[in-house]
Chain A
Amino acid sequence: MHQEDIVIVTLKVNGVERPLAVEPRRLLCDALREDLGLTGTNLGCEQGVCGSCTVLVDGESVRSCLMFAVQAGGCEITTVEGLASGETLHPLQAAFWEKQALQCGFCTPGFLMAGVELLRRNPEPDEAGVRAALAGNTCRCTGYEHIVDAVLAAADGAARERTFAEEPEVDVAAEVVAREGR
């Protein structure tokens, strides 16, 4: 690393301000993985095609291998490590486990981030909508079947949550987890 090239940049990652000293060429994915130790974001092609390195930048899905860390200065970044609330899995994480939407798990973080973005934009997608929205991510193990099932199941769970929103004591996320016997 050449000292004269170093840039100081602050990323807000999973809700925490993280100042970094990086070279301008430092990719966002490398900054997350190597400088911040957030190795949940995986690199499958480093060409912006497989979608494994997908993270959310200000709520939008981004391929972190196609963005420089310095471009993300001041942005809110969510990685797979930021989805769960402590012990409680995000409903989409719970659904991925429940539906066996992962095998080797390498592409899983990217699919989760793409799925979270989809469900925010369209809380009640149909199967074709899920397949279209996930077409930016490649999985080689599952044939996508269980991934699509998991996204649809999480959408169903969220719809139930909205239906029962007036009953404040119902914690649907905890219910999902309880149902799965965790």
Chain B
Amino acid sequence: MTIEVERAPREAPRRRYVGSRQKKLKGDLFVRGKARYVADIELPGMLHAAVLRSPHAHAHVKSVDVSRALEISDVVAAVSGEDARELTGPVPHFIDPAVFGGKTAEVRCLAVEKVVYAGQPVAAVVAASRNDAEAALDAIAVEYEPLEVGLEPAAGTQGGTLLYEGWEDNTIIHIPFVEGDVEAAFAEAEHTLEDEVRIQRYTTAPIETRGYVADWDTSAESLTFYGACQNPHPLRWVLSHALGLPEGKIRIVAPHVGGGFGLKMHGHPEEALVCMLSRMLERPVRWIEDRRETFLIGGREQTHTFKVAFDDEGRITGLRNNIVANVGALGAPPGWGMAFLTALSFPTGYRIPNQDVQVSIVATNKGPWNASRGYGKEATNLVMERIVDLVAQKLRMAPAEVRRRNFINKDEFPYKTNAGLNIDSGDYHGALDKALAMMGYDDLRAEQERLRAEGRYLGIGLAFELTPEGGDIPGTLVAGFDTTTVKMDPQGKVTVLTGVTTPGGGNETGIAQIVADEVGVSLEDVTVIQGDTGLCPYGFGNYSGRSMLVGGGSAALAARDIREKLAKVAAAMLETEPENLEFGEGVISRRDNPDASLPTETVAYSVLTLAFATAAMVEPTLESTRVYKPDNITHIPDEKGRIQPYPSYSSAVHLAVVEVDAETGVVDLKRFGVVHDCGTIINPTFVEGQMQGAVAMGVGAALSEELIYDDEGNLLTDRFKTYLMPRAGDLPSFEMEHQVTPSPFTLLGAKGAGEAGVGGSQAAVANAVNDALAPLGVTLRQMPLSPPNVLRAIREAAEKGGVS
């Protein structure tokens, strides 16, 4: 492991913690089984809810009769969609397509009149126990009138069976990203190729399912909502709208969250439903999702049909790509927006002057999407990397060389892409060289030659990955800034209240490291509180690799305010100037005379107790709330109408080595390496952990994970025995190095980590499998590269007569 020394940031304190491998704060809670997740919350008098779901993917709901369920002892309530309509309003969209000129549809917590996917909630039961509630669902009679089911985007994305009244077709929105003279690029091209990549529907599947506890306080007429959620404040806005309750009457608490990856961004019907039931019954109500329900939420299903123009030297001069995304039914979570960002992110870190990238985002009778780690950008990386490898294959040129010739050079940053993204910094050539050296690329190729002579199919796959991070989507509560309060008590201990949340990645520890350095206390003296709208300043939670970037940035700003006050008071007490002070671990001393020092506690105590004497020059209380808005985001359209929604762009180079068994279609991942650049690193262990987890997710996406529906729209892969995620034995030990090119646009130089890795690893594995099977003339177009898909591709290649 090597970490390059980064440039000294402006006016930063001497760093003790930032950049070091600190252990997770309160990690003992987790290993002792003391962490409290939503399913661990027990409130006095709490009831349990279960949800009846539609067995039809598309149907009119003629009637719902809950009367027999209500007759069952232990059942407290049973409600239909009609009942719920009286008690709640629609669930507002996290990102309403209408904001961008698309179509929208009303989403309610329980379906009214019509269902548009199998699994859509139609009724709910509340009972004394979860068992009783689930059993009573059978007693609810629902009469459906089935309608024609459409599971694939209709040809030309027009027509087909219409999901929503008032829509002329099922296309939610169509967005073009066109730049340069594409016609000319293709007319003048020395070479062209066309091909296709079909990405399966898959999902994030955190090990903790969703779950909510709503607790209505009858006397205060207020609601406390405990939920496995990523965005407490924006969720409060949603529930306020749905319930018709002022935001001040709603408190959202995210306890420990057992993984998110986007799935726990809000808009799910059960959020408002559980609150409605609690208010109706004036008792706490808990709903814990079961695993089958978790799998109803999908993501990522897209088909890319592309044409590429390039010259003899391997330089790509033009790209056409027609993307069709099957986003299922339109839900209120921010799922559909992923496909928007897939198109926006082309052509990643390559200089391609002419492009015509179009995306059609189409609703079908599959379950709705929610955000999934990578948020659509993973698909861009997969497809771009397949394109580059196809170019290399056609020219019989080394894949690394084609990348080198098309990469943005490190002296070209900031670099504006065709879609208007302003990439902050990077060194893609450097990262590529590092990755090749780390993995011993030339030796791998020699090994491949040797094994091919034995009839074995070793494949080596490279992938570059660019991940726009820290995004801000205008007109939505997807914000690119965040807020932190830092306060120091009279004993010199620090409490940090932050608007960012953690689903486990460790940002609380990173934020504490930043604050401890800024105010000069030891890490143990910093407590971080997050995920509670009753305590924390308004913030936006967890998405888009933003927690260190803006959570850390705002924490640093607030901590600097505290430091400034401490410095003024300490300077008076030590008879010197603030500039002459050094902040250590709980000690403030004179630079010119380190023996002249004071415990930070003494200074903090003095701020409150000598407010009219020694500390008169500062406003008392050591507390500051600050917002950090990174540079580089701009929502004022440029001359071409483009906006720039991201402050930073992390990058990575992945390399996968696989062996494919051409008899069985089984792919064995033998080695995997990645060089990752997320700018300034706050805690290398956590960055590595995030990347390792993302790589595993990408390997699963590449090889095995798929949500498969039958022809009627029922989900077949609704459990871990059929939805196949990598286990420890399926993966090699990952090889990893860091590269650090700090972002010039963020306070700490950090670029965000956590989202990156899925698309890069998926692409590296896909390129490796294609490389392995190249001697058979195979090109794999359908993801995942599961044994059936691999065997089908081998068979099709054989039918065509092998190598073309």
Contact = CB atoms under 8 A, between A and B. Distances in A.
A44 B207 contact: yes
Given A81-B33, A127-B733, A180-B23, A135 B205 contact: no
B261 interface: yes
A141 interface: yes
Contact of B685 (A79, A100, A127, A136): A100
A50 B506 contact: no
Contacts of B204: 140
Interface stretch (B577-585, B604-612, B717-725): B717-725
Instruction: Give the residue among A42, A79, A141, A146 with the most B Cβ atoms within 10 A.
Output: A141
A100 B689 CA distance: 8
A77 interface: no
Interface string B8-46: 000000000000000110011111111111011010000
Instruction: Give the residue among A47, A93, A140, A180 with the most B Cβ atoms within 10 A.
Output: A140
Contacts of A109: 33
B160 interface: no
B695 A143 contact: yes
Given A138-B725, A142-B693, A144-B696, A104 B208 contact: yes
A117 interface: no
Interface in B692-733: 692-697, 719-721, 725-731, 733
A15 to B, nearest CB: 15
* Residues of B contacting A: mostly: loop
Given A103-B689, A104-B207, A131-B728, A138 B720 contact: yes
Contact of A140 (B30, B205, B721): B205
Given A44-B209, A143-B692, A145-B692, A108 B731 contact: no
A182 B26 CA distance: 11
B32 A144 contact: no
B31 A112 contact: yes
Contact of A89 (B28, B208, B729, B734): B28
B131 interface: yes
A40 B28 CA distance: 12
A42 B206 CA distance: 13
A41 interface: yes
Nearest to B672: A143
B158 to A, nearest CB: 38
Nearest to A127: B733
A40 B258 contact: no
B719 A49 contact: yes
A80 interface: yes
B299 interface: no
B441 to A, nearest CB: 22
A13 interface: no
What is the size category of the interface that chain A forms with chain B?
35 or more
Interface residues of B, number: 59
Contacts of A138: 207, 720, 725, 727
Interface string B551-592: 000000000000000000000000000000000000000000
Contacts of A97: 23-24, 27-28, 30-31
Contact of A40 (B34, B207, B685, B686): B34
Given A42-B208, A142-B693, A105 B32 contact: no
14 contacts: A42-B258, A47-B720, A49-B719, A80-B32, A89-B31, A100-B686, A104-B256, A104-B503, A105-B258, A109-B33, A134-B729, A140-B207, A141-B259, A145-B692
Interface of A: 1, 25, 33-34, 38-47, 49-50, 52, 79-81, 83-84, 89, 93-94, 96-98, 100, 102-109, 112, 127, 130-132, 134-148, 180, 182
Given A40-B32, A97-B30, A102-B24, 17 more contacts: A1-B129, A47-B291, A49-B719, A52-B207, A80-B31, A100-B685, A102-B31, A102-B504, A103-B504, A104-B258, A104-B259, A108-B31, A140-B261, A140-B693, A141-B505, A143-B692, A144-B696
Interface of B: 23-24, 27-37, 39-40, 42, 129, 131, 204-209, 256-261, 290-291, 503-506, 685-686, 688-690, 692-697, 719-721, 725-731, 733-734
Closest 4 CB pairs of A and B: A40-B33, A104-B504, A106-B258, A105-B30
